[in-house]
Amino acid sequence: MQNAVAKDTTYEWGLSHGPIQSPRFGNHVEVNPLGQEKVCSFDCPYCNLGPSYMRMNQIKKEYEFPSIAEIEESTRMTLRAARANNENLNTILVSGNGDPSLYPNLSELYDMLSNVRDDIYPDASIEILTNGAKIDTRKSIDAMNKFEKIHIKLDAGSDKVLKQINTPLVRTTISQIVSTARKLENVVIQSLFVQGIMDNTTDSEVEEWVESISLVEPKEVHIYTLQQDPQVPGIKKADENRLYFISSILERKKKIKTLVVP
């Protein structure tokens, strides 16, 4: 019953699109297993996709996700077009309208993408984005660990700021997200910083964030800020110098590699 949520939250690019050039993912194709509605366990005020209207029980009981076959057809078409244009593809990125780790057949999704990748772009890496809040079963952890890289959102160092900047729609804490991340392999942390009416760049918040990052022990941390207008007025891009300052603290204190995307 995909139409059970009658909100203005439809998106145009379908189940796959690209290639897109990005400093974080290289030349990549994005795969969206979530369909046209926003499907997320966070309601981040800065999200350019708009509010998260669906709650977890709606998603679990009512929402009709795209089938593996539908996603495969779209992905093959997109990759074949990229190959025909002689594109050098680095990454097949599972992303989409929210948190793709909520897709109920994640293991099967990876297996399908792996087969498609091997047929068309055998050197491409298959990666996934997630906020880490609902990877809470052995099944979901095993499925996530199939991906070559797992990009986990960690925008806050304290539960207070987590509630402000990410507005979780499920019960979660920084310690729970960190605990989940430690069970996953090949983790890259993605951290978005903002200023204005909410600010996660303060000295005290950055200090707590650095400690949380060190507990995860990721392969790399991507530090970035808003690239599009947020849904809530008053939230502003973080100052570029501040981003590099945060990066320098993490690299100096914890010896963790960072990539800054201002």
pLDDT digit string (tens) for 16-42? 999 999 999 999 999 999 998 899 999
Q: Which residues contact 212 (CB under 8 A, 6 or more apart)?
A: 154, 157, 174, 178
pLDDT score at 216? 96
Please answer whether residues 106 and 66 qualify as being in contact, where contact means their C-beta atoms are separated by less than 8 angstroms: no
Report the CATH number of the 2-261 domain: 3.20.20.70
Percent over 90 (pLDDT), the chain:
83
Q: Domain map of the chain by residue range? A: 2-261
Packing angle between helix 203-216 and helix 174-182, nearest 10 degrees?
A: 30
Residue 68 vs residues 106, 107, 252: alpha-carbon distances, Å: 9, 11, 44
Integer Cα distance of 146 and 131 in angstroms: 17
pLDDT digit string (tens) for 224-238? 999 888 878 899 999
- Residue labelled with tokens 């729609």: 169
Global confidence as pTM = 0.92
Residue 81 vs residues 24, 69, 85, 158, 194: alpha-carbon distances, Å: 22, 18, 6, 44, 37
User: Taking 70 as the threshold, does the pLDDT of residue 99 lie above it?
Assistant: yes
DSSP tag of 207: H
| Pick from 5-14, 74-83, 252-261: least confident | 5-14
